[in-house]
Chains A and B, each alone.
Chain A
Amino acid sequence: MGHAYTPGLTVTERTVIRKPRLLPIPGTVLAKAGDRVRAETVVARAELPGKVHVVNVANLLGVAPDEVRDYLVKKEGEAVSQDEVIAENRPFIKWFKTEVRSPIRGKVESVSTITGQMLLREPPRPLERLAYVDGAVVDLHPAHGVTVETSCSMVQGIFGIGGETWGELVMAVDSPEKTLSAFQLLGYDLGVAITGTEQVGFTLVITEGFGTIPMAAKTFELLAGHAGQKASISGATQIRAGVIRPEILIPWTTGSPDAGSAGRAVPATERSGIRIDDHVRVIRDPLFGRIGRVTALPTELRQIETESVVRVLVVTFADGTSAVIPRANVELMEG
């Protein structure tokens, strides 16, 4: 497998991306092919079945499950409101009467004469899929959604938390060496690198890694160059098969130069490997976070300090120093 290498993160001033915006269940597509949409535009809508609540009528009334139908006030399919009586017994003395009330507003889904349970379902909840980025609808997926295309600047991060959102891009520091103060984000130790659903009130994209590492100059300059513009951001990360990287997308608006014409698309397939002069980021200690240029790609295997025998490359840094690094421990700076 001679081509094994770590695909890099894309940081590019101009690209065209396509975002499928699909519902998890079939619904109604609201946008049409060719529509211009904004991040907040609802492009598709569906109804999620409501939550189910279980009421054991037999236990509450003290009757056998197979008798439960005799005591029902509400039948299957009937609507109920909260606290409405759904079943009751009919004792000789009214004082001993027991009523079972609905804990929710909804309808009776089913009644079981084996368990004596009544299943009540809440009304369906609307689920909306937004466009997430400003752009144009280029493809329709009937009953499921659309694909939105946008011409934008793009920064892929390595790891993020929080869902999709958008807003104005503001710089918090004026140089990549400056530190943003650390604070506890989640309040728990994140175990597995699948994120995007955290409810933390904000979305975070990490561009380099964990530790005190300056942001790559190219990334910082790109973001600084678009300060004040609208950006879409997603923290969703999945590092297992089917990789998803967190991202910052800054759509080129109609006023931008070349807006509307297709820029360079993000390559859909992997490159054949790392080449001489490629810019790479070192992604493992002891030189973690350093960025340099590939100056040699020896073909023979080398023994490293751990005594493992691996493929290596030589990286030369801006200060003129060089280091021999396992190929597995660098990442291409793409875009």
Chain B
Amino acid sequence: MTGSAQPSRQMTAAQPLHVIIATDCGSTTTKAILIEKLGNEYRQTFRGEAPTTVEAPFEDVTRGVLNSLAELEELSGRKILDGERIITPNRAAQGEPRVGVDIYISTSSAGGGLQMMVAGAVQSMTGESAQRCALGAGAIVMDVLASNDGRLPHEKIERIRSLRPDMILLSGGTDGGTVTHVVEMAEYISAAEPRPRLGISYQLPLIYAGNKDARDRITEILGGKTSLVITDNIRPVLERENLGPARTKIHDLFLEHVMAQAPGYKKLLEWTGAPIMPTPAAVGLIMETIAKKENLNLIGVDIGGATTDVFSVFGGVFNRTVSANLGLSYSVSNVLAEAGLASILRWVPFTIEEQTLRNRIKNKMIRPTTIPQTLDELQIEQAIAREALRLALAHHASLATGLKGVQQERTISDIFEQKTSGESLIDMLQLDLIVGSGGILSHAPRRVQAMLMMVDAYEPLGVTRLSVDSIFMMPHLGVLSTVNEQAATDVFVRDCMIYLGTCVAPIGRGKDGERCADYTITFGEGRSPECGTLAFGELRLFPLGRDDRAQIELRPAKQVDLGEGKGVSVTRDVRGGEVGLLLQLPTDSQKRLAALIRWHRAVDLYPGKG
């Protein structure tokens, strides 16, 4: 794997890292960033980008990488390339501080990323576990097959044959449990003779992570037809998932098979000082790292042109989902189809003819690189974004659940509170931080627009901090965290995150204009406290800078809950950001358009009108 002119992974990992370059080879753009150690901390200093070159006429991913690095060289004044070779390590010790880097790392989602099909015995049990496993590894799950998925056997076989995934994950049965169902799925896969998406000369990789008692039979059925890898059961007992070993195998096979088939990747694999990761896996990793380090419950979202990825960490449990057809350009029309016109229109602060809106959305789909030129167009795009974000979170919440099929131990006190197994882990009241990423959020002309899009879509409850990714460097930081966690977290906190502020949102119902809560906000030195009454249907914004903190005391009406129970006063420390402290009160308004205009004015959401 290691080219003679390039550093070995072991060597670079052991070296102190002062200068790091990282790229993310996306489906359209390759983004490069330069990270340097300045004093005791790591900072992201320059960025460059170039079109990705996986497709014809270039068909070599390294061209785009070299172009992005050339731009980085130009902007930073650092010599990174010697012809088509990355100069490592940096030559500060030789008296040339502006020459070379210590490590090059990369992520990739070019060529459609990692596309997988998963199969389990029972859809809501091993089927879902397999899906969570593949999604967590950064894959797009093309289909979930299970014995009880409602399809007839020949339909399943046709589906497997037509899909052409990069790899298959087959699970099923707890250890010592059902053999029949998992063998049945293996027989269908065998009959379908599935072929890989890329390359016609190699066998499709298949990971078996099911009942260990069925391994011999699986090997017998699939050993000759697929490139079979056997690993630990992802659901050894019903009460526990064990996704780690299968995820590791997915990453190994991604590198060995999928990446090796993509044009130019063999060369790229030789350049990198750490294994290339699928982009979403790297984003998930940095989110998980930050959540664990700061002991947070968080939701992260990356809304792109074709897909929306949602990540969550609640109580230390990481989940990722990808809504493959919820995006703002290539699949924008699908947001309209799934959400419905009325749902989108409820966020548009003016009236528009239905057919005009449909045409505009379809035109965005077929010309995805265009940008809103008028305020109306911007408002429509942000309305669609709210719905895409909402739908993607709903999808995520349905999969980020506790394990289904687990026996509940009940005591006499539980009789009146019937909880089923498999409830969603997403609890908006326990949520500490929302991290938004993707052009519509990161590049919104006003930061308050990004904040309100997320607040409207996610409806956070209680006290929640919000932020956006500045220039989409989370993938780079994810893969960096595998090499140097300090560098990754330094850059994440200082350069990647742009904190927008905090949203406080009570739960309760009342008529618009009626008292919802009284508040007192105590700021830092030199600023007088503010107090007053908040009414239902109100939206208020208090400026509070990025490094500022405040204390808010809320005394709610008797039917209003702030997380401590109805009518109970709460006091919370809140942190500021580029937008500030947003107080959002519940509404029952039927006069939607008037309310929208009022809210938009209250937070100065758009220039001039609205």
Contact = CB atoms under 8 A, between A and B. Distances in A.
Interface of A: 1, 4, 6, 25-26, 49, 51-54, 65, 109-110, 112, 114-115, 117, 119, 121, 158-159, 189-193, 206, 209-211, 237, 239-242, 268-269, 283-286, 288, 304-308, 310, 325-326, 328-329, 331
A191 B27 contact: no
For the complex of A and B, 5 pairs with smallest distance between CB atoms: A191-B334, A54-B153, A307-B445, A189-B337, A210-B362
A159 to B, nearest CB: 4
Nearest to B110: A241
A1 B217 CA distance: 54
Contact of A308 (B188, B193, B325, B371): B371
A281 to B, nearest CB: 10
B264 interface: no
B55 A242 contact: yes
Contacts of A241: 27-28, 52, 54-55, 110-112
A315 to B, nearest CB: 12
Nearest to A245: B366
Interface stretch (B268-276, B374-382, B402-410): B374-382
B49 A210 contact: no
Contacts of A326: 370-371, 373
Contact of B363 (A49, A191, A209): A209
Contact of B365 (A239, A283, A328, A331): A239
B336 A189 contact: yes
Nearest to A157: B366
Given A1-B29, A52-B157, A284-B367, A239 B373 contact: no
Interface of B: 27-29, 49-52, 54-57, 71, 110-112, 153-154, 157-158, 161, 179-180, 183-184, 187-188, 190-193, 195, 200, 217, 306, 325, 330-331, 333-334, 336-338, 356, 358-360, 362-363, 365-378, 443, 445-446, 607
B541 to A, nearest CB: 18
A158 B367 contact: yes
A197 to B, nearest CB: 11
Contacts of A114: 179-180, 183-184, 217
Contacts of B200: 26
Contact of A283 (B57, B111, B193, B367): B367
A218 to B, nearest CB: 19
A53 B154 contact: yes
A1 B371 contact: no
Given A190-B333, A308-B443, A329-B370, 5 more contacts: A6-B370, A158-B366, A189-B337, A306-B373, A328-B371
B191 A52 contact: yes
Nearest to A267: B57
Contacts of B371: 284, 308, 310, 326, 328-329
B5 to A, nearest CB: 28
Nearest to B191: A52
Given A110-B187, A239-B365, A307 B330 contact: no
A54 B157 CA distance: 10
A54 B200 CA distance: 28
18 contacts: A6-B369, A52-B154, A110-B191, A112-B183, A117-B187, A190-B333, A193-B330, A210-B359, A237-B366, A239-B366, A269-B57, A285-B374, A308-B372, A308-B445, A310-B371, A325-B373, A328-B370, A329-B371
B443 A117 contact: no
A308 B56 CA distance: 33
Contacts of B157: 51-52, 54
Contacts of A4: 369
B380 to A, nearest CB: 10
A159 B366 contact: yes
A240 B27 contact: yes
A285 B373 contact: yes
A1 B191 contact: no
B135 to A, nearest CB: 20
A23 to B, nearest CB: 11
